[in-house]
């Protein structure tokens, strides 16, 4: 098969310059997969998007029925080999796909054009992706057999039960959910919310973070992670949290109370006190995936904007919107900011490929902050060009904006990341002072050597 | 009764400096009314807000039931003399309240703290306010008897049917709804959307803009405005437009098709061809009211933020949010921007009082652009400080943000206002060139007079 | 004499709306003075500006010669009664002018249009203004006779020697200059810089801040202020600090070393340990004056921009600059931001008038932060519209920008003010929590009263 | 020699992630050169910077004396093989260095750390670089022998005489300088300014743009370019333009009047009417070089900031600046923005390498707009952290800021580039409409196929 990857440029997925910058890091397999994925998303997913939303139930069955079209698309993606692309063969030789983070990053962007929807079709949707990684990395054979395999097959879905109500659980040491061992069972009591996917009738399992040992002086050894079947007695899905008025059915972001939930001890992941370690490993690459999907969303918003401002029906005061200088400038600004943000993410993805997520934390953090802010700005401009249509249910803009808005605090608010990174940058100061001392010594010597008088210092 | 108006400062409604700047423009009556209003909004409306939302129906009756609490609050407001405050006695001696625009502006801000809710309680909610002004100004006795009186009494509600689907109707010359006279009837055909309030079971009347004479070479004489009973045959409410996922029931922003709707000729406002003139008169002060309500919303968001960042349960990494320097700076920025924005609006309101809305168009336009943008920024910071809670249904922040977002394009997008005002500012250029010519003549003379050589020019 | 004050609008000094907002706070005397001042600045100062700069020497005499034109303008201003306008009769009945802070604020803006230049012509230029206030407030008869009177007469000029090299002296407790009493003399040793005006041959006196009692446990009782004749032996003016390459001759911002300078003990202001108290009193209104001058500068920059973009010789690609939409939007943005900033300052000035500088600290702080940032943005847009001409010596833009840039850290950097003010705003939190508690009690009662079930909380 | 290129990371020249992203595009030669260059700039140029400025004369000889240290550094750079790095061997096999644009881009950044100074030491300073490219590409043998060779040897310097006073010459069709052939001579009359380098005593030649055929209906065939010896009779250097008060001696940006200057006809470049074509070819890569130098400047400013905020002498109110949260956030923002900007430039440089400057115009344009704005923001934060020291002559910050500010309009103002690029982006609209048509057809078919009813459209 000839290299079809230039479709990435001709379809306007990446600017030619960006593709020229990264194409030679793509394997032939990745290029072929990417070309197929572009066709699949553009030709099969995007036309089905409105249908998907129409198939979400409005009334009592809202949390019970899965839109048929998504299951059909999943079958189709599997057939095309566009399945589980997120899982890297390098790390998970048994199940993974042969893609680097950089390669998958671009694919995540392509899927991100059709929101959560195309990602789900390719079994690459959060929170399943992170959960599968956890199970692949930390699960034992039995746990993998029972939960990972059906997840990889797209037969069930899953939740990640971390965030708690009434405390600031972005600091994991604040977690209050208690895990108590009774014989060979674990008894769970806690109050969580924003448990994504827990409303979905296909959701079969929660990976739950709690504290087994809250008084451990090592604050990072208090937490443990447990596999909780979604239908275990005592798991009470209380209500759907809304994101700017949207409940995201049928998946939802649910408030869940765990009341004396009992699971067998073998459902413990790795061992007591390993919870913190597990979530640390879960976050890095996932953040990049969010970023890349955001960029896809921003590109799509820009496309909507380009169409809107050239719509002859939307002429005001005798001019099409595209004839207004400020609109033209806004479009260029969108393009510039998207391109810069994308390069930051691709560079971070490449760094993960070269030195692992741990060595790329800094690159990940900056991408994690910059890209959602950029994408929000792009979407806001696109909304503004659409007027009322831009904030209603008739385009993807408002819902996508709301979804992107959550990324500014999810996995740590911007402010926290920037404080951490600023402090890391500050660690360079002592070396800089040292270098300055040397420089000043040389400077003084040079003045002497040339006999040039120094101005008063 | 002693002057209670200092409550405006002690309750944190206005900063002391702002109140000191405008208090002497308030009549004793206005001060007394303001003090009462503060108490009413803070003590009676705000505690009832959650109840109101709980009383909005979820299912089939969503568009049929009015939350009982609002009708009770309306009775209460009437009793307190906090009723129809928006309508100025100066312009409407028969019905109005004795308040200037400046005085009412501050009251609109107070009501804006409780969103649309307190405004409705005081019969000061859009679109009724604008519609009542239109009927008071342009309606004849019979029209006023039939529609204005029950509106003023808060017995019915109303819609303003202007915006059309499929065209850019912010340019009124693009209106396509046709008005055809047949005998002593008017036949209406058109497709509108974003008709606020048209979902409300109390909505009894639409003021509708259409074209009777689409080929009139005077593009501003083509439009006419007609009173349409909401229950007239052929008025089809098609669906509710959502604002970031919110349908705003039971009022709603509806898509409405008018299909061969027939109304008696006497329902024409003023006369054929007067539609454009009517909407021009409707816009000015209304924009200021939106602005002031927005400021109230921003103040409330800042109060939520102040509470949130001092919530000891939300401590992360050993620090309350209020101990983070960037949070403190964000709070100060909110305060600074709110205060500056408010002064701009109050100055515009004062200008309306002194020279009328026409003479204050420029002041209104700048307030109209600056304030919603400011309020959005304030709310965004407050949301960010709240994390996930900030974008869900548990605070007013997300819904208020979404509502404010519409103000950036409603009544003309920011971009259009800025172009218009920029061009108006540019009209100063010829006089400046003239002055410069005189300045240069004097300059040359001075050089000569002092005998100072000029550098090469 | 008829009220000529409408000149303030017709000459484009203030927008009509702003003038309408404050005119009734102006006394007839203030209106008359303002009208005269507008004429003086526009017709006499501005045409002389280029001449002034041409009369500043380039070579060895750079710090020795005063441009003759400024002394002539001073005579003229005195004659017109436009002299010492900054000094309020209310506080200094003996010497002051009968103007409120609000009234003077507008006049400072008018003078600010011609930079430092018109202010000096009216004897209203820093640092003399602050120094005269200090001497009027804290000086004894003898000190006033010797130093205040010739300053008020414009015969000498003065410096304020506060900032020190090598330490962060914006925190006055870091001051290191030592004041040692020997008999009836004070011996001064210290290293200061950015001593404005100390290069001026007319500069006769420095008000100097040092520490007499550096070990005093009360860190604000360590400092004292001393009157130092500029020609006292040991006062060494080392070099001129440059502001973006500009040395501001003949006044300059000088580095000054005080080496065993001896002054008589009677030159101590108020008494030992009063230095901190004195500078506290000096800052408030002065900041407002800087702000107002900045606004005048911004208005002038906007006028330059309006001329530039309508200059037919500057047509590019067939369009005048004023025909580009983004330029028009920039102009409107300038107008909007200037007007909002000005209202903030006028409101602060009014607050000083009503409750004194101490009670207006908050208002002053916000104005102090917002206005220079706004003015910098306006000037930057004006520079950008001018291209290369905008950053060179041929317009006032670059020099004015550089001057404004210093205001973002002078008298405390933006960041410090914002932290302080943010913390002050945070003091509202306890009362808000209390109010919320009451609100929730009422809310719960209302739910009960109406029998409405609450959603899960 | 072992690969020393990791110095690029250990010395903090590039973040590890960025180097990981581009290192494999560097040849061994480029890596070796880069490592040498880092040492040369850090260890030899930067310590000599203050000396260079001290050797610039203050008085009458300001435009006559070249600081000796720069000539010594030039010898040293030549010796190290760090000479004429800008000229690519690929395009100029006879004279060039074997570096790609990407490779040179990183080196330009390294030189940019020491401002114009290190660039000059390596004979890589504007405007000589562009002029050498023009002569190498468009000059004939004789012209190259006479002017290119001594330029390549660093024996003479040159100017590019394009910008004209009194017209908007950024639109080259506005050029008014006349070129008239008289026999075998060309007579030149014109009034230029901002002719960089024309003040330098080493400047031996101007490449001058004028019009030979101003009435040619093809507006791009009117211009021609002529080689003008700097000492030709009639070349009058009138004055030095200042950039924010700085005259940049001894090179300067001069106002130059050409009065009946006569040069031999053989000084015409290429032929009559080729002027426009020549300047088009000159601009692309040069813009990238400016960008990369700007990034080096920004990195250096960040290093200064890191030192300043950790300077224990600058403690205020008991805290080092680096302990303030907003400062830490500012530092992180600097880092993030620099990294994103750099990737944009490197991507553009890579695009030039792959498809040539013409194919990379878009990438160049975005880099050209984004990077100076980013660098200005970084420098502004660094200045703010320095207080008064940041805007004076004691650090490189103010002068560097002023230099960067010129890049926002030089080679076309931001606004023009953004309009052009926005319009180019808009060209995608027709294809997007076409794709949308296909999507809607599929969508309708899917709805039919699934039998799902569509909501009202």
pLDDT tens-digit profile of B361-414? 999 999 999 999 999 999 999 999 999 999 999 999 999 999 999 999 998 899
Among A114-123, B312-321, B325-334, C234-243, the range scoring the smallest mean pLDDT is B312-321
Percent of chain B with pLDDT over 70: 99
How many angstroms from the chain centroid is the CA of residue D188? 28
Tell me how far CA of residue D234 lies from CA of B234, D191, D229, D258, in angstroms. 85, 12, 11, 6
pLDDT value for A204: 98
Is the pLDDT at A226 greater than 90? The verdict is yes
Inter-chain CB proximity D245 and C419 less than 8 Å: no
What pLDDT score was predicted for residue A177? 97
Quick: pLDDT tens for D190-245: 999 999 999 999 999 999 999 999 999 999 999 999 999 999 999 999 999 999 99
User: What pLDDT is recorded for position D455?
Assistant: 72
* pLDDT category of residue D2 using cuts at 50, 70 and 90: low
Scan residues 309-348 of A and list those with Cβ closer than 8 Å to B.
Answer: 313-317, 324, 326-327
What integer is the mean pLDDT of D29-50?
96
* pLDDT at residue A1 is higher than 60: no
Four-way CATH pick for A157-269: 3.40.50.720, 3.30.460.80, 3.30.465.10, 2.40.110.10: 2.40.110.10
Residues of chain C with CATH 1.10.540.10: 7-139
* Comma-separated ranges of CATH 1.20.140.10 domains in chain B: 277-426
What is the Cα–Cα distance from B439 to C44, expressed in whole angstroms?
9
The predicted structure's pLDDT at residue A286? 75
Q: Output the pLDDT for position B109.
A: 97
For chain A, what is the mean pLDDT? 94
Q: Tell me, yes or no, if C455 comes closer than 8 A to chain A by beta carbon.
A: yes
Give the model's confidence band at B24: pLDDT under 50 very low, under 70 low, under 90 confident, else very high.
very high
Count the neighbouring beta carbons within 10 Å of the beta carbon of residue D218.
Answer: 9
Q: What is the pLDDT of residues A183-223, one digit of tens each?
A: 999 999 999 999 999 999 999 999 999 999 999 999 999 99
Residue numbers of D between 277 and 296 with CB closer than 8 Å to B: none
Give the closest of B239, B255, B325 to D326, CB-based: B325
Note the pLDDT of residue B280.
Answer: 82
Chain C neighbors of A326, CB-CB under 8 A: 325-326, 329
Chain B partners within 8 Å of A410 (Cβ): 388
Neighbour tally for D229: CB within 10 Å: 16
Query: Cβ(A87)–Cβ(A96) under 8 Å?
Result: yes
The answer to whether the beta carbons of residues B298 and B112 sit under 8 Å apart is no
Rounded Cα–Cα distance for residues C25 and B45 (Å)? 37
**Chain A interface, best mutation among C326, C333, C384, by max A CB count within 10 A:** C326
Give me the pLDDT at residue D284, please: 66
D266 has a chain B CB within 8 A of its CB? no
B233-259: average pLDDT: 96
pLDDT in the model for residue C116: 82
C203-211/C157-161 β-pairing: parallel
Residues of B in contact with D255 (CB under 8 A): 456
For residue D162, name the pLDDT band (cuts at 50, 70, 90): very high
For the segment A123-148, the average pLDDT, to the nearest whole number, is: 96
Long-range CB contacts for residues D103-106, cutoff 8 Å, separation at least 24: D103/D25, D103/D26, D103/D27, D103/D30, D103/D33, D103/D34, D104/D289, D104/D349, D105/D288, D105/D289, D105/D292, D105/D345, D105/D346, D105/D349, D106/D8, D106/D13, D106/D14, D106/D22, D106/D26, D106/D34, D106/D292, D106/D346
Nearest CA in chain C to B437: C47
* pLDDT surpassing 70 at residue A284: no
pLDDT digits (tens, 9 = 90+) for B134-153: 999 999 999 999 999 999 99
Q: Is D404 on the interface with C (CB under 8 A)?
A: no
- Chains with at least 3 CB pairs less than 8 angstroms from chain B: A, C, D
Count of helix runs (H) and strand runs (E) in chain C: 16, 7
CB B408 within 8 A of CB B372: yes
CATH 2.40.110.10 range(s) for chain B read 157-269
D161 min Cα distance to partner chain C (Å): 15
Dihedral-angle region of residue B49 (phi above 0 means left; psi in -120 to 50 means alpha; beta otherwise)? alpha
Global ipTM: 0.95
Give the pLDDT band of residue A145 (cuts 50, 70, 90).
Answer: very high
Chains that touch C (3 or more CB pairs under 8 A): A, B, D
What is the number of helices (H) and of strands (E) in chain B? Answer: 16, 7
Q: C193 contacts in D (CB within 8 Å)?
A: 388
For domain D277-426, give the CATH superfamily. Answer: Butyryl-CoA Dehydrogenase, subunit A, domain 3 (1.20.140.10)
3-state secondary structure of C137: helix
Instruction: Find residue A181's DSSP bridge partners.
Output: A186
Name which of B163, B246, B401 is nearest A388 (Cβ-Cβ). B163
Average pLDDT over chain D, rounded to an integer:
94
Interchain CB distance below 8 Å, B21 and C339: no
Asked whether the beta carbons of residue B238 and residue D456 sit closer than 8 angstroms, the reply is yes
Q: What is the CATH number of domain A277-425?
A: 1.20.140.10
Q: Does domain C7-139 have CATH number 3.40.50.720?
A: no
Q: Does the pLDDT at position B284 exceed 70?
A: no
**Rounded to whole angstroms, how far apart are CA atoms B443 and B439?**
6
What stretches in chain C show pLDDT beneath 50?
1
Q: Residue D283 pLDDT more than 70?
A: no
**Alpha-carbon dihedral sign for residues A163, A167, A172, A175:** negative
Would the CB atoms of B426 and C306 count as touching at under 8 Å?
yes
pLDDT for the residue numbered A324: 93
B142–A contact, CB cutoff 8 A: no
Using DSSP's 3-state secondary structure scheme, residue C157 falls into: strand
Distances (CA, A) of B181 to B212, B223, B264, D394: 8, 13, 9, 81
Tell whether B306 is within 8 A of chain D (Cβ). Answer: no
The predicted structure's pLDDT at residue A428: 96
Q: How far apart are CA B119 and CA C70, in angstroms?
A: 59
Contact B423, C329 (CB under 8 A): no
Instruction: Give the alpha-carbon dihedral of C320, C321, C322, C325, to 10 degrees.
Output: 120
In the prediction, which pLDDT does B283 show?
66
Check C425 against B51: CB less than 8 A apart: no
Write phi, then psi, for A185 (nearest 5 degrees): -125, 155
Give the separation between CA C263 and CA C332, rounded to whole angstroms.
55
Q: Are D373 and D291 in contact (CB under 8 A)?
A: no
The pLDDT value given to residue A289: 87
pLDDT score recorded for residue D375: 98
């Amino acid at each position: 098969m000839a290299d079809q990857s230039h479709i990435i440029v001709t379809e306007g997925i990446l600017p030619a310059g960006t593709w020229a910058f990264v194409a030679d890091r793509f394997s032939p397999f990745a290029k072929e997969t990417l070309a197929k994925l572009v066709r699949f998303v553009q030709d099969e997913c995007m036309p089905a998007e409105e249908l998907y939303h129409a198939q979400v139930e409005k009334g009592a069955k809202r949390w019970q029925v899965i839109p048929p079209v998504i299951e059909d698309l999943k079958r189709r993606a599997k057939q095309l080999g566009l399945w589980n692309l997120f899982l890297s063969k390098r790390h998970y030789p048994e199940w993974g796909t042969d893609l680097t983070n950089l390669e998958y990053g671009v694919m995540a962007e392509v899927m991100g054009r059709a929101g959560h929807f195309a990602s789900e079709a390719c079994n690459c949707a959060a929170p399943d992706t992170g959960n599968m990684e956890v199970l692949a990395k930390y699960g034992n054979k039995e746990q993998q057999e029972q939960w990972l395999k059906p997840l990889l097959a797209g037969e069930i879905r899953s939740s990640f039960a971390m965030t708690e109500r009434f405390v600031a659980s972005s600091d994991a040491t604040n977690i209050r959910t208690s895990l108590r061992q009774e014989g060979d069972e674990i008894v769970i009591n806690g109050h969580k919310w924003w448990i994504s996917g827990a409303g979905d009738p296909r959701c079969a399992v929660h990976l739950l973070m709690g504290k087994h040992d809250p008084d451990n002086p090592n604050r990072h050894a208090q937490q443990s992670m447990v596999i909780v079947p979604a239908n275990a007695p005592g798991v009470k899905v209380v209500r759907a949290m809304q994101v700017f008025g949207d409940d995201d059915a049928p998946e939802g972001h649910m408030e869940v109370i765990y009341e004396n939930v009992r699971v067998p001890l073998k459902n413990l992941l790795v061992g007591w006190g390993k919870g913190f370690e597990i979530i640390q490993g879960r976050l890095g690459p996932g953040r990049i995936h969010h970023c890349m999907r955001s960029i896809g969303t921003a590109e799509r918003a820009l496309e909507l904007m380009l169409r809107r401002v050239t719509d002859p029906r939307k002429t005001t005061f005798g001019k099409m919107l595209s004839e207004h200088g400020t609109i033209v400038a806004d479009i260029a600004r969108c393009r510039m900011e998207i391109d810069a943000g994308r390069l930051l993410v691709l560079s971070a993805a490449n760094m993960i490929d070269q030195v692992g997520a741990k060595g790329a934390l800094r690159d990940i953090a900056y991408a994690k902050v910059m890209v959602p802010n950029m994408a929000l700005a792009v979407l806001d401009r696109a909304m503004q060009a659409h007027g009322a249509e831009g904030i209603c249910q008739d385009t993807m803009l408002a819902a996508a904006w709301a979804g992107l808005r959550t990324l500014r605090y999810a996995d740590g608010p911007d402010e926290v990341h920037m404080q951490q990174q600023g402090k890391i940058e500050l660690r360079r100061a002592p070396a800089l002072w040292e270098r300055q001392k040397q420089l000043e010594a040389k400077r003084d010597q040079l003045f002497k050597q040339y006999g040039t008088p120094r101005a008063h210092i």
